[in-house]
Amino acid sequence: MTARDEVLGRIRAANAAAGHPAPQEVPRDYHRAGAHPAGAPELLELFRDRLVDYKATVLEAPADDVAKAVRAALADATGRVVVPPGLPDGWWPDGLAATRVTDDGLSPADLDTAAAVLTGCAAACATTGTIALDGSPDQGRRAITLVPDVHVCVVRTDQVVQTVPEMLAALEPTRPITFVSGPSATSDIELERVEGVHGPRTLIVVLTG
Amino acid sequence: MSTFLGIPAPRGVGHLRGDRSFPDAARGALADSQLRRNLGHATRVIRGKRAAVVGELDDWEQLRLAGSALKAATMARLDEHLERLEQEVTARGGTVHWARDANEANAIVTRLVQETGASEVVKVKSMATQEIGLNEALEAAGIEAHETDLAELIVQLGGDLPSHILVPAIHRNRAEIREIFLREMPGVDPELTAEPRKLAMAARAHLRERFLRAKVAISGANFGVADTGTLLVVESEGNGRMCLTLPETLITVMGIEKVVPTWQDLEVFLQLLPRSSTGERMNPYTSAWTGVTPGDGPQAFHLVLLDNGRTAVLGDDLGRSALHCIKCSACLNVCPVYERTGGHAYGSVYPGPIGAVLSPQLTGVEDNASLPYASSLCGACFDACPVRIDIPSLLVKLRAQHVDEQRKRAVPSAEAIAMAAASWVMSSPRRFAAAEKGSRAGRLLGRRAGRIRTLPPPLSAWTASRDAPRPPSETFREWWARERGGDS
Ligand code: SF4
């Protein structure tokens, strides 16, 4: 018998031995929908608050001038800034010291020498201060938001929902998804939180819209 | 009582059985004041953080009830969910393997690594691979496994074993970690201080180059979504993202109980898990991947579905709820026994209250017979558990099962004798009075410290890991007789 058939057979025998427990009805009376619609001022305030709590930086930008906030975010960047192939027009600022490099399958070593990465996002959750990336053209491969030390992420206010259920519902599960809540951190030494281990040590969120 | 005889995890491989019983192992831990300080501090901090973020949600109890019902529903149709998961992962370019036990899983993973030609792998912290002793199996095949979670790295470099589900190096303080790094990390700055930030940065530098050159990664999975074939790893440091993103080949070892039926179900667990475990509203990073995505991440993906005793647990009508555990570690952090003994005393990769019920079920209770007694039955673990596992009831049931087995054997154990003696004494007022008077002899034993360090057998089994208070000079009956004129 194959291992597959044997394990499945053991599961069936075990469930029979336990008296074929009927699947329980799942009560879903927790908050699925938030009290506020996506992008409501209350949510934006909560979202900012959560991000700052994680030691992320939050900048604001009007919808038609994202580049201004990005310029401020990348003011100190020198060398190369990686961008995904589908970076929206108008996000890249003029007059930066850094050079724009569009990802076309850069090697991990190339990414390691980059100063920063600039992307959009797929969805965000205010209650937990979470940003979801799903590999769309304005976000790029998972590797580009992982290896560079600074991640500048543009979040449109209409992408900010209140609850975790709303955020998950806004995503297509089979895409490669990364949920980011603040910069990389560890609490492994005496439970003292240290920001920045392997992922980007600096997360700058540009809130626009 | 169940009559199903499942197949427990095999002996001689993996880390589900300690080489000593809990009381034996706990005795050393109790004498280690540094360990108790490290643990006391860490569990206090984490309890406070957890309470604060759980208090922020006014639907916490509803989430717990949903989580508990979801788990029960999943187990009732576990075979169907796993078949669906296999189908979806395969349809999206992954390969699914099934492993009856630790030996089979180790053989599969070793073969898969060998087929890539790699002689080293990077690993993201995984309870399942610790459970089966994968690192040792790889080493025997000449493959070096690098743990990349900071705490796992501390444990690995220290030649040590993990002692907590979530914070495996919780038993180490900063000074001890600094010493380990100075001794074991090639090229580390000799001026390294014990400041946590400095230590974390030393680990970053040490691991960076390994991540960038790694060809093969091995991970566990927190969840596997049946209806989409999506796997998830929940973490903080980004070492998980590194392992799940940069290498060419990814091998994930997942216990069969980790499946959830739908993507929507994650909305419950992704709220319950981070708040219960690290006391955060959300952990810094969660990665979700489905099969292989061309041009993004590993282009070869293998999922190993592991039984290793889980179906034996599933066959028990009450005990099966131990499989609902999402390994958040909240029960460890509130347990007065864990706080004093630490995780090593449990002898298994699964320590604390959940370990005390899960390990004996995975191995068969006779192989971990003292664990169900490693609890005060105070109930704090049940209150803390985000999926409402009734650990105290499970402990009591396992104790009963153990006592039943003892009774069938020719030679009774020390506990059985002690308990039988106690019940014989307590069943007669006269005998009880005599025993109480007799206990005054204990005053002589404990005269100096007001504590008795060793009682004669069979009660020595009790004092082996505890001090007994010195009995009072007067028994309750004597006091009653004196105060109430002997009319008892
Ligand atoms: S038993 Fe409950 S509290 Fe303990 S680790 Fe598992 S899920 Fe968490």
In a domain, B30, yes or no: yes
In a domain, B275, yes or no: yes
pLDDT at A3: 97
Q: So where are chain A's domains?
A: 36-208
Across residues B280-303, what is the average pLDDT? 97
Q: Which of B76, B280, B305 sits opposite A21 (nearest CB)?
A: B76
The residue among A68 and B455 whose pLDDT is bigger is A68
A1 touches chain B (CB under 8 A): no
H or E segment and range at residue B290: strand B285-290
- How far away, in angstroms, is B165 Cα from ligand 1 center? 10
Across residues B391-417, what is the average pLDDT? 77
Is the domain of B302 the same as that of B431? no
Across residues B372-386, what is the average pLDDT? 90
Cross-chain Cβ contact B297/A26 below 8 Å: no
Q: In this predicted model, what pLDDT tens digit does every residue of B78-132 receive, in sequence order?
A: 999 999 999 999 999 999 999 999 999 999 999 999 999 999 999 998 999 999 9
Across residues B424-434, what is the average pLDDT? 57
B326 lines ligand 1 (CB under 6 A): yes
Q: Which of B268, B286, B312 is the last residue of a domain?
A: B312
- How far away, in angstroms, is B326 Cα from ligand 1 center? 6
- The residue among B257, B270, B248 whose CA lies nearest residue B220 is B257
pLDDT at B447: 43
Is the domain of B307 the same as that of B425? no
pLDDT at B92: 98
Phi and psi torsions of A203, nearest 5°: -120, 120
B266 lines ligand 1 (CB under 6 A): no
- Where residue B430 falls among pLDDT bands split at 50, 70, 90? low
pLDDT at B87: 98
pLDDT at B427: 56
- Give the integer Cα–Cα distance in Å for A203 and B6: 49
Residues of chain A neighbouring B387 (CB-CB closer than 8 A) = none
Q: Which of B267, B295, B312 is the last residue of a domain?
A: B312
In a domain, B141, yes or no: yes
Locate A122 and state its tokens: 């797929």
Domain that holds residue B171: 22-312
- The residue among B296, B218, B216, B219 whose CA lies nearest residue B248 is B216
- How far away, in angstroms, is B385 Cα from ligand 1 center? 5
Contacts of residue B150, Cβ cutoff 8 Å, sequence gap at least 6:
A186, A188, A189, A197, B169, B200, B203, B237, B239
- Where residue B294 falls among pLDDT bands split at 50, 70, 90? very high
**Residue of chain B whose Cα is closest to the Cα of A191:** B42
Question: A residues 50-79 near B, CB within 8 Å?
Answer: 50, 54
Across residues B351-375, what is the average pLDDT? 89
Contact B416, B400 (CB under 8 A): no
- The residue among B105, B89, B122 whose CA lies nearest residue B248 is B122
Q: In this predicted model, what pLDDT tens digit does every residue of A32-43 receive, in sequence order?
A: 999 999 999 999
Contact A57, A203 (CB under 8 A): yes
pLDDT at B485: 64
Locate A128 and state its tokens: 């937990």
pLDDT at B121: 97
Locate B240 and state its tokens: 């998980």
- Give the integer Cα–Cα distance in Å for A141 and A148: 13
Domain count, chain B: 2
- Give the integer Cα–Cα distance in Å for B283 and B281: 7
- Where residue B417 falls among pLDDT bands split at 50, 70, 90? low
- Where residue B488 falls among pLDDT bands split at 50, 70, 90? very low
- Where residue B437 falls among pLDDT bands split at 50, 70, 90? low
Locate B63 and state its tokens: 């989430």
The residue among A150 and B17 whose pLDDT is bigger is A150
Q: Name the pTM for this structure.
A: 0.88
Q: In this predicted model, what pLDDT tens digit does every residue of A34-77 receive, in sequence order?
A: 999 999 999 999 999 999 999 999 999 999 999 999 999 999 99
In a domain, B242, yes or no: yes
- Where residue B136 falls among pLDDT bands split at 50, 70, 90? very high
Tell me which fold the domain A36-208 belongs to: Rossmann fold (3.40.50)
Q: What ranges in B174-220 are assigned the alpha helix state H?
A: 174-184, 196-213
Q: Is the pLDDT of residue A109 over 80?
A: yes
Q: In this predicted model, what pLDDT tens digit does every residue of B32-41 receive, in sequence order?
A: 888 888 888 8
Does the interface ipTM go beyond 0.90? yes
Q: Is the pLDDT of residue B440 over 80?
A: no
- The residue among B65, B130, B74, B168 whose CA lies nearest residue B359 is B130
pLDDT at B432: 54
Q: How far is B72 from chain A (nearest CA, A)?
A: 6
Cross-chain Cβ contact A25/B69 below 8 Å: yes
Is the domain of B295 the same as that of B422? no
- Which range has the top average pLDDT, A157-171, B143-157, B182-196, B434-448? A157-171
Across residues B312-321, what is the average pLDDT? 92
- Give the integer Cα–Cα distance in Å for A171 and A165: 10
Q: Which of B262, B287, B312 is the last residue of a domain?
A: B312
Cross-chain Cβ contact B241/A108 below 8 Å: no
CATH number assigned to the domain comprising residue B296:
3.40.50.10420
The residue among B141 and B17 whose pLDDT is bigger is B141
Q: What share of chain B in percent tops pLDDT 90?
A: 61
In a domain, B431, yes or no: yes
